Amino acid sequence: MKIFDLAISLALAAAAAAAFAPPAAAAAGAPSARSTAAPAAGPDGGKPAAASETQWKDLYEQAVSHYQARELDQAEAAGKQALAAARAGQGQTGPFEASSLNLLAMVSQARGDGEGAARLLGEALAISERSLGAHINTATLALNLGHALDRLGRGEEALAPYARSLEIAEALQDGQALRAQALAALARVHAELGHAGQARAYDAQLRTDEAGLPDGERAAALERRAREREAAGDAPGARQALEQALALRDAQPDEAARVRGLTLLAELLERQGQSGAAEPLRQRAVALLEASDPHSLALAGHLNELALRRLEHADYVQAQALWTRALALVEAQAGPDSLDAARIVANQAQGLERQGDAKAAQPLHQRALDIYAAHGDEPEALLGQARAVNYQAGYIYRQRRFAQAEPLFQRALALMERAVGPDDGQLLPVLENLEALYRSQGRGSEASKYAERAARLREAAQRAPS
């Protein structure tokens, strides 16, 4: 899960973006090296001694400078000294403490210690709630804590600080940008948790503030909108939203987010039957991944899809070359007995079938079958077994070995029914093969039974909304 920095400044009048930001967004830059924390009040309600404030400010600026230079050990040391100076002060020292803790959290995050970052931000938020209450700095710390929890995969826990950030931002005259970020985070997390209604509600509120979002968050909002539009049957609207999201991703330095945008748009176009328009998007994704993550499963996935496009154009040599590359990546990253490997091996076998070399395809069908069988009753594994067995049965049928083909076709049908039920259109190839098998043997009544089932499935598919 990707994350960028959102830093906060503890000015009483404003909060700047920069410590922990939402996943799949681009880096927002380092925090300002200039402290704008409000002066702490002394015992009589006035300012603390100038020396105390100056000492804290100097230490804090040193810590920020080291952080910006990615000198994390020095940043941590200066940050801890700044925190100690704040705690040793008199009067209203809370904003100074919270600012120091936030910086230390940023250091922890940069080291990959997400748990430590979340703990420090939780402490900073509690201090800010006590010292400042419903202030923009408190709202920003709440947003940062939400992002830290979010990064750890603790989306349910992140909802409360995100909601607190939104609550404060909505009551502030200058809280529009922060409100937009909180709405975007809430919409995204609810969508990831499967809370479709809540996600739609937050997205609807977000549309009035969307222009104030960082580009990465605007892109994520557009990607969610595309899913909604596709589900509602608005294919052009879904495509437009994903194209807008990709344009925003292209303007950012985050290559992983750009690959995500390319992938989402390519997959949508393929679902809409526009694989030709999807192909250059996948080629762009391959080029990015070859440069940035050349051993990734994501690269294997794009190579597999490009191979399928080559197969559609009867470019068998290029298709098999792409599958060979994809399979090597999958075997190295996920293992030779993974479902990812089974998919590619099955595709290689189908490619050979399309070339007219069914005999050479049989060992690959068997390998795919063995892998799928090892994955038990997972629907994908059952479907994979059914397809492999159907191909094996077809090969035997074409040799007119009807008695051997029949139990294999029946086995393929049983596996497919276990995976998708008796009324799914995916059963059609097996039903048609069984009809052909029985007609070839003059067993008309048995053939008619499967022909009638196939006809019902075709009629149901025609009646179904597109």
Q: Identify residue 93 by its one-letter amino acid code.
A: T
Measured over the CA atoms of residue 183, residue 269, residue 345 and residue 425, the dihedral's sign is positive
Nearest partner of 40 among 109, 105, 87, 101, judged by Cα: 87
Q: Which long-range contacts (CB under 8 A, 24 or more apart) does 451-457 make?
A: 453/427, 454/427, 454/428, 456/423, 457/423, 457/424, 457/425, 457/427, 457/428, 457/431
Nearest partner of 22 among 144, 140, 127, judged by Cα: 144
Q: Specify the DSSP element, H or E, that contains 445.
A: helix 444-463
Q: What is the mean pLDDT of residues 238-255?
A: 92
Among 28-32, 214-218, 303-307, 411-415, name the one with the lowest average pLDDT.
28-32
416 three-state secondary structure: helix
Best-predicted range by mean pLDDT among 39-48, 94-103, 201-210?
94-103
pLDDT tens digits for range 450-461: 999 999 999 988
> Is residue 28 pLDDT above 90, yes or no?
no
> Is residue 191 pLDDT above 80, yes or no?
yes
The pLDDT, as a whole number, for residue 204 is 80
Q: What is the mean pLDDT of residues 158-165?
A: 95
14 three-state secondary structure: coil
Q: Which residue has the higher pLDDT, 39 or 130?
A: 130
In the DSSP assignment, the letter for residue 232 is T
* CA–CA distance, 168 with 172 (Å, rounded to integer): 7
pLDDT tens digits for range 374-387: 999 999 999 999 99
Around Cβ 263, how many Cβ atoms within 10 Å? Answer: 19
Among 1-10, 147-156, 189-198, name the one with the lowest average pLDDT.
1-10
The pLDDT, as a whole number, for residue 206 is 78
Looking at every residue in the chain, the average pLDDT score rounds to: 86
Q: Which residue has the higher pLDDT, 416 or 34?
A: 416
* CA–CA distance, 4 with 326 (Å, rounded to integer): 30
Q: What is the mean pLDDT of residues 287-311?
A: 96
* CA–CA distance, 146 with 137 (Å, rounded to integer): 14
Q: What is the mean pLDDT of residues 440-456?
A: 95
pLDDT confidence of 274, banded at 50, 70, 90? very high
Around Cβ 423, how many Cβ atoms within 10 Å? Answer: 11
The pLDDT, as a whole number, for residue 5 is 34
> Is residue 156 pLDDT above 60, yes or no?
yes
The pLDDT, as a whole number, for residue 218 is 84
Q: Distances from the Cα of 307 to the Cαs of 298, 310, 311, 342, 457, in angstroms?
A: 14, 5, 6, 15, 30
Q: Distances from the Cα of 312 to the Cαs of 299, 308, 351, 354, 428, in angstroms?
A: 20, 6, 10, 10, 21
